[in-house]
Amino acid sequence: MKYIVIIFSILLSVNTFGQVRKKIKPPVESDVKSNKFGRISNINFSTRIKKYPFNKAVQIQLVSFEDPTGGGQRDSTKKIIYNQNMPKSYFAVCINPFKEIKTLNYIQVDKLTDILFNYGPLGENHICSFGACYSPHNAILFLDENGKVFDFIEICFHCLHMYSFSKKLDVENECDHTINMISEFFKVSGIKYGVVDEVKK
């Protein structure tokens, strides 16, 4: 990912030369519960990309997967078959074959980090809506220089929950609006399974 930082920093310096930065209004604080959501900060890409796990990732992928048995793929002895290059964990993304894989480019990484680090609830008392099914069919994978996945975010877009493998990413408490933005990002990036309504129902 250090190569992404160098290349994108050069592009960013060229594109932003001479431009005047607009001030971002601070979040609106209120004692009244609300579902207002939006941009809460304006952290630039060169700073975002230095945050874990992007600072360690050489490649970032979006994936979808089926889970027909609810227990992952197994061999003739009922032993779990783990996906190649994935951690040996019982997360659904580790034990089910991938249906779709999209490797992100620099512009897409910029968009993803912008969603994760610059958007959130406006105000202290925010209302979020979640389901309880947790039947994940999608994930964001972070790969090292050897092509191994060292961390990932597993997502259920139906009940709007997501979990990280390492727990270094505090995504379990993300607002439903954030997850909906990530869902739209998956669709725009070409991932359909587990994302569009016709599939996830």
Structural domain spans, the chain: 2-200
Kindly report, residue by residue over 153-163, the tens digit of the pLDDT.
Answer: 999 999 899 99
Task: Give phi and psi for 153, each to the nearest 5.
Answer: -120, 115
Distinct helix (H) and strand (E) counts, the chain: 6, 7
Contact present, 153 and 139 (Cβ < 8 Å): yes
* pTM of structure: 0.77
- Beta carbons within 10 angstroms of residue 69's beta carbon: 10
Q: What percent of the chain has pLDDT over 90?
A: 54
- Give the Cα separation of 197 and 158 in Å (integer): 9
Kindly report, residue by residue over 110-145, the tens digit of the pLDDT.
Answer: 999 999 999 988 876 545 555 568 899 999 999 999
Q: What percent of the chain has pLDDT over 70?
A: 73
Residues (pLDDT < 70) of the chain are 1-35, 69, 124-132, 174, 197-201
